[in-house]
Amino acid sequence: MQHSGSDETVISLSDGLDRQIRAMEALRALLEEEYRALQSRDPEQLLAITRRKTTCIGEAAQINLKRRELEVRETAQTSSDRTGAVSRQREQLDTLTRLCRELNHANGALIRRQKIRVEKTLQIMRGEPDQPRLYGPSGNTADGNSTRRILASI
């Protein structure tokens, strides 16, 4: 059986969507693994995951470029009733993309919380006071020592 050009485009697009879905599922798994590594604070594991994640994102980006080219051709060649399966694949890909974005934001939030903890620990180790920065009458921030000196002189 011979396929028309539009059928071949839809098949190619469907294959491209499948490849991108697999790449995004791999990215999702890496983001979940990254979250566990962040919780356990394992730097070697984090570096390994980061390398794999970078590779996975690069592959997904290449697949996305090819898929977008096919989508342009598919849109021009086919009617919407012949692309139901492709629409479902697009929805699945959109869902995976949103999930990956949410996982990435969660990982970023965990990193920010850990960074704050480390900064506070270093601040304590340095003997720096844990006081909020206050603004003086001129609008400049005043350090805690100048405030004490002013109060001590009264």
pLDDT in tens, 129-142: 766 666 777 777 65
> By three-state DSSP, how is residue 135 classified?
strand
Query: Is the pLDDT at 148 greater than 60, yes or no?
Result: no
pLDDT digits (tens, 9 = 90+) for 93-130: 999 999 999 999 999 999 999 999 989 888 888 887 76
Find the domain containing 108 and state its range: 5-153
Q: What is the CATH number of the domain that holds 24?
A: 1.20.58
Percent of the chain with pLDDT strictly greater than 70: 77
Query: Is the pLDDT at 31 greater than 70, yes or no?
Result: yes
What whole-number distance in Å separates Cα of residue 6 and Cα of residue 78? 6
* β 141-142/134-135 pair status: antiparallel
Number of domains in the chain: 1
Q: Model pTM?
A: 0.67
Q: Which of 77, 93, 81, 79 is nearest to 14 (CA)?
A: 93
